[in-house]
């Protein structure tokens, strides 16, 4: 459910309501609900498995992800994200959330290319902390001098790292069990993979396997 929620957030869609699914006879959706197999693709031994939200708790959590913008859902979302491996969850659009981690971060990596309230982020840095951007922010970044001077903080930026740095990053990810979300397609299914990309359904990287 995190993938549809991420798509909604990326496209700035904020659903007012989310209707629970009720299985009805003679419908593909019902077949999917009961079998937990994707009937839109060839059904067989290696059929794609799809989780179905059946109990009230799962349904409530699914709604919480889809209505991510509703603060009433945040306690459930925090609990779920921590269960998925996050050490801490902070809403960067909530000033109170940012204040709760003031002076605690050593490093912030910005991957966005939009204007943000940079001072709020600088305030979350510990002394000698660093805000580093790899996102090509399109507007000048307004950085208050006193926010840097007070804690000897710094702001930097860089393009894609070298091969050596990339290898170091991959070793770090393996050591801490961090892996990307990848969809795999067989080489003979290349046309299906391209259509998958064109339809905007890729989450988040598509790989062709020979």
**Which domains, ranges and CATH numbers included, belong to the chain?**
1-87 (no CATH), 90-162 (3.40.50.720)
Cα–Cα dist 126/124, whole Å: 7
pLDDT score recorded for residue 203: 67
pLDDT score recorded for residue 133: 92
Contact 68, 5 (CB under 8 A): yes
pLDDT score recorded for residue 126: 96
Contact 126, 105 (CB under 8 A): yes
Q: Strand pairing of 182-186 and 205-209?
A: parallel
Q: Could you read off the pLDDT tens digit of each residue along the chain, which spans 210 residues? A: 677 787 787 777 888 888 877 777 777 888 888 888 887 777 777 777 777 777 788 888 888 888 888 888 888 888 888 887 778 888 887 888 889 999 999 999 998 888 889 999 999 999 999 999 988 888 899 999 999 998 999 999 988 778 888 899 899 989 988 887 788 899 999 999 888 888 777 766 788 988
The CA-CA-CA angle for residues 170, 49, 24, to 5°, reads: 145
**What is the token pair recorded at 35?**
């079998």
The reported pTM is 0.54
- Determine the 3-state secondary structure of 198 from DSSP: helix
Q: Of 90, 94, 93, nearest to 77 (Cα)?
A: 90
């Amino acid at each position: 459910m995190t993938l549809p929620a991420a798509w909604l957030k990326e496209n700035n869609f904020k659903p007012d309501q989310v209707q629970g699914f009720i299985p009805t006879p003679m419908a593909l959706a019902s077949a999917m609900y009961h079998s937990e197999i994707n009937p839109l693709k060839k059904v067989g031994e290696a059929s794609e498995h799809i989780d179905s939200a059946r109990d009230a708790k799962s349904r409530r959590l699914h709604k919480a992800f889809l209505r991510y913008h509703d603060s009433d859902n945040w306690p459930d979302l925090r609990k779920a994200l921590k269960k998925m491996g996050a050490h801490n969850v902070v809403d960067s659009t909530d000033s109170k959330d940012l204040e709760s981690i003031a002076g605690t971060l050593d490093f912030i990596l910005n991957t966005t290319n939009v204007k943000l309230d940079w001072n709020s982020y600088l305030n979350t840095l510990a002394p000698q902390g660093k805000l580093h951007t790899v996102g090509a922010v399109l507007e000048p970044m307004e950085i208050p001098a006193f926010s840097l001077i007070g804690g000897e903080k710094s702001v930097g930026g860089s393009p894609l790292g070298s091969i050596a740095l990339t290898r170091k990053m991959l070793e770090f990810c393996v050591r801490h069990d961090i892996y990307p979300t990848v969809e795999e397609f067989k080489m003979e299914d290349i046309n299906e993979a391209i259509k998958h990309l064109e339809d905007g359904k890729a989450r988040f990287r598509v790989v062709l396997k020979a």
